[in-house]
Amino acid sequence: MKNAVALTPVARAEGQTEPARAADGRTRDRVAQLLLERGSATAAELGDALGLSPAAIRRHLDAMLADGLVTSTIQPARGHRGRGRPARIFALTDAGRVTCAPHTYDDLATAALRWIGRHGGPDAVTAFVSDQVAQLEQRCKTAMEGARDEPLSRAEALAEALSAEGYAASATAIATGGQLCQHHCPVAHVAAEFPQLCEAETQVIGRLVGTHVQRLATIANGDGVCTTHIPDPRRAAAFHPSEPTSTAQ
């Protein structure tokens, strides 16, 4: 099994100094804000607006593409183009738009769940959350088609699918099975008040990997990463072999 299936922001930033990482983060925030305001733009257009070279902008856009924050399409040709690669147009994904105004989305979602709770009670909140998470489950299930039918392989495929949803996920083999880590949670602030979101997501992970899983940590609870343990009976047996049966003397 591969050690990780998704290159996370932490992994990409390895080797950078803290000030350099902070500067990169600020630049990407400015790029995201421009794309939010303009709808779409090329690297050259973004560079002109920010006073940076297209090459420098493309480095940030590549990282944002890997995180599922932007998409890119080929710019339609207008008249005769010379040699060179065609220009690409970049636009924010849904996950990218959330990063530009996270508190606005969080406040609205939290207010909606509070309203549902007041008028329908806890069961109504749970039903609403389950319905919303079911949509994520279906998208991930579709993206995981073709994965081998065993938990750790499916965890790899799930990490890739979750990364495309903005969770920056990775899957790692450990002594007793596997570990799924989500380095970003788009609904962390909402889940801090409504833990039903984390509970429903944990159940979805279990169904998608095909085994019971255990949530060890969550960003909503103040942890740095959402961590889910995926047990593998074969690994667990090898790690904790059965005691030999004693014989009477």
CATH of domain 101-239: 3.30.1380
CATH 3.30.1380 in the chain is located at: 101-239
Q: Tokens 């904790």: give the residue.
A: 240
pLDDT of residue 123: 95
Asked whether 209 and 215 are in contact (CB, 8 A), the reply is no
Reading the chain (249 residues) residue by residue, the pLDDT tens digits are 444 434 334 344 445 555 556 666 788 888 988 887 788 899 999 999 999 998 899 999 999 999 889 999 987 665 555 555 678 899 888 778 777 766 566 788 899 999 999 999 999 999 999 999 999 999 999 999 988 888 888 899 999 999 888 788 899 988 888 899 998 888 888 999 999 999 999 999 999 998 999 999 998 888 878 999 998 766 545 444 444 444 443
Closest CA to 50 of 32, 74, 62: 32
- In angstroms, the Cα distances linking 148 to 97, 152, 161 are 34, 9, 15
Asked whether 113 and 197 are in contact (CB, 8 A), the reply is no
Top-level CATH class of 9-78+87-99?
mainly alpha
Q: How far apart are CA 28 and CA 67, in angstroms?
A: 12
Return the beta strands (E) in 50-204 as ranges.
70-74, 88-92, 169-174, 177-182
Asked whether 214 and 151 are in contact (CB, 8 A), the reply is no
CATH 1.10.10.10 in the chain is located at: 9-78+87-99
For the chain, give percent helix, strand, coil, nearest 5. 55, 15, 30
Q: Tokens 């050690």: give the residue.
A: 3
- Residue 83 burial class via C-beta count within 10 angstroms: exposed 0-12, middle 13-18, buried 19 and up: exposed
pTM metric for this prediction: 0.57
- What is the Cβ-side half-sphere exposure of residue 213, based on CA atoms within 13 angstroms? 29
pLDDT in tens, 171-230: 998 888 889 999 888 888 899 999 999 999 999 999 999 899 999 999 888 887 899 999
CB neighbours of residue 72 within 10 Å: 16
